[in-house]
Amino acid sequence: MKTFSPGRIAFVLFCSLVLLYLILPVLIIVPMSFSSTRFLTFPPPSLSLRWYQEYIGNAAWMQATRVTLTVAALTVLIATPLGVAAAYAISNSKLRLMRIVHMMLMLPLVVPIIITAVGIFFVYAKVGLVATMSGLVLANVMLGLPYVITSVVAGLQSFDPAQEMVARSLGMSRLRSFFAVTLPQIKASVLTGSIFAFISAMDETVVGLFISGGQYQPLTKRMFTALRDEIDPTIAAISTLMTAASFLLVLIASTRQKKSG
């Protein structure tokens, strides 16, 4: 099998180039963020932490960072229990109606984000939720639910419901048996789902663009506005930090997933 025919070499080369195309733009922001000059130059001159200092020293960027982290944390706190409850209902119900409910809960993945964003903006404008923290959190809970539900439904599929039956036949209430027997075994999938909901809230841009304002503007909105005007290397520093945070979280999610089998 191990022959080095020209076709095989061409195939390996092609795949390597595609993988390079995939990963290079993600990596390129790292050296950019450590550059000492405002304009990108090749080869890069000297290294500096200038853009990180610029980011940390800027009150507007810091306020936006606080907003993003608060929104993402609150999103996880709300979306996780709602998503777990819904996933449990989906997995344990044989109702036909439940299939429709499941599909509806996946709507945020299907509807183009710009339509969702403009629709929410219309509704928020009527009820006075534009430029508020609660408005931002609610929208992100909606967007994060499918991630929690998908992950937990998958987790419940590999869980044997007979175990919960046994606990209940021994006199435990349904609620207690869920917390004592089921939850510990689907822990990893719950964690994965909530991590993805966190990343989704942290990266969310389009809805925030329409419904946020004033002091409650997330990081992505400020970045988007800054990008329209000029290439500010501060954004490279912020991007590097955001990417590092995402990678770290995905790494945690995937190692936990493996441990629990």
Partner 1 sequence: MLALASPALLVILLLIVLPVGWLAWQSIYHDGFTLENYRRIFSEDIYWRSFSLTFEISLLVTLLALLLGYPIAYAASAVPKGWSVLILALVILPFWTSVLVRAYAWLALLQRTGVINQFLQYFGVIEEPLALVHNTFGTVVATVHILLPFMVLPLYATMQKIPNDLMQAGASLGGSPSHTFWRIFLPLSLPGVLAGTTLVFVLCLGFYITPELLGGGRTVMVSMLVSRNVELYNQWGAASAVGVLLLISVFAIFLIVGRFIPLDRILGQK
Among the listed residues 56, 77, 110, 165, the single contact to partner 1 using CB under 8 A? 110
* 224-203-57 Cα angle (round to 5): 60
| Region near partner 1 per CB under 8 A, out of 59-67, 165-173, 182-190, 218-226 | 218-226
State the nearest-atom distance from the C-beta of 56 to partner 1, in Å.
18
Q: Is the peptide bond before 43 cis (omega within 30 degrees of 0)?
A: yes
> In the bound complex, what is the minimum distance in angstroms from residue 242's beta carbon to partner 1?
6
Q: Does 133 help bind partner 1 (rule: CB under 8 A)?
A: no
- Cβ pair 147, 196 in contact under 8 A: yes
The answer to the question of residue 201 lying near partner 1 (CB under 8 A) is no
What is the rounded CA–CA span in Å between residue 197 and residue 76? Answer: 6
Task: Please identify, using beta-carbon distances, which residue of 141 and 167 lies nearer to partner 1.
Answer: 141
Q: What is the DSSP letter of 180?
A: I
Contact call for residues 189 and 261 (beta carbons, < 8 A): no
Q: Stretches 56-64, 164-172, 185-193, 245-253: which one binds partner 1 (CB under 8 A)?
A: 245-253
Residues of span 47-106 touching partner 1 by CB under 8 A: 82-83, 85-86, 88-90, 92-93, 95, 97-98, 101, 103-106
Note whether 258 binds partner 1 by CB under 8 A: no
Of positions 4, 171, 214, 228, contacts partner 1 by CB under 8 A = 228
Amino acid at site 180: A
**Residue 97 and residue 200: Cα distance in Å, rounded?**
28
The size of the chain, in residues, is 261
What is the nearest approach in angstroms of partner 1 to the Cβ of residue 1? 10
Find tokens 């109606």 and name the residue. 97
179 makes contact with partner 1 (CB under 8 A):
no
